[in-house]
Amino acid sequence: MGTLSIQPGSGGIDTYLQDTDATSDFGDSTVLYIGLKTGKASVKYRALLYFDCSSIPSNAIVNSVTFTTWSGALNDYSASKPCTVYQARKNFTADANWNTYDGTTAWTVPGGDYNASPSASFTLTQGQTITSATLAAIVQDAVTSKAGALRLLIKADDESSTQGYAVWKSMDNSTSGNKPKLEVSYTARIQWTGNTDGDAETATNWSPELVPSAGDVAQFCQGSNPCTTGTITCDTMTVSGNYTGELGTSSSPITVEASKVVVNKRNGGVHLNIGTTSTTDVYLDGTPAGDSNATLSGTITNLYALNCTGQVQVSADVGTAYLIPASRKRTDIQLTATADDADVIAKNNSKLVAQGELDTTHIWGGATVTVHDSSSNQMGAVKIRDGGTLKYLGSDASSTLGFGSTVKLYGGELTLDKSTAPAISFTGQVTTYADSILNARNSVDAAEFASSIKYYGGRIRIDASRKATPA
Whether 202 maps to a domain, the answer reads no
Q: Judge if 161 and 256 occupy the same domain.
A: no
> CA 123, 128, 132, 136 torsion: positive or negative?
positive
Q: 196 lies in a domain?
A: no
CA pair distance 78, 75, nearest whole angstrom: 9
Q: Is there a single domain that holds both residue 33 and residue 164? A: yes
Residue 251 counted as domain residue = yes
Task: Judge if 178 and 258 occupy the same domain.
Answer: no
Mean pLDDT value across residues 338-362: 90
Identify whether residues 242 and 180 lie together within a single domain: no
Parent domain of 356: 235-461
**Tens digits of residue pLDDT in 204-251:** 999 989 899 988 999 999 999 999 999 999 999 999 999 999 999 999
Pair 291, 388 in one domain: yes
Same domain, 248 and 388: yes
The tally of domains found in the chain comes to 2
Residue 111 lies in a domain: yes
Same domain for 130 and 18: yes
Q: What is the pLDDT of residues 242-259, one digit of tens each?
A: 999 999 999 999 999 999
Residues 295 and 439 in one domain: yes
pLDDT at residue number 442: 53
Residue that finishes a domain, picked among 187, 221, 249: 187
Residue 255 counted as domain residue: yes
Say whether both 452 and 333 belong to one domain: yes
Domain boundary among 160, 187, 214: 187
Are residues 354 and 258 both part of a single domain? Answer: yes
Res. 41: pLDDT tops 90: no
Q: What is the pLDDT of residue 465?
A: 52
Phi and psi at residue 55, to the nearest 5° = -75, -10
State the pLDDT confidence band at 399, using cuts at 50, 70 and 90: low
Residue of 228, 184, 231 lying closest to 212 (CA atoms): 231
- Whether 470 maps to a domain, the answer reads no
Residue 198 lies in a domain: no
What's the confidence (pLDDT) of residue 328?
80
Cα separation of the two ends of the chain? 59
Alpha-carbon dihedral of residues 258, 225, 253, 345, nearest 10 degrees? 60
Do 24 and 162 fall into the same domain? yes
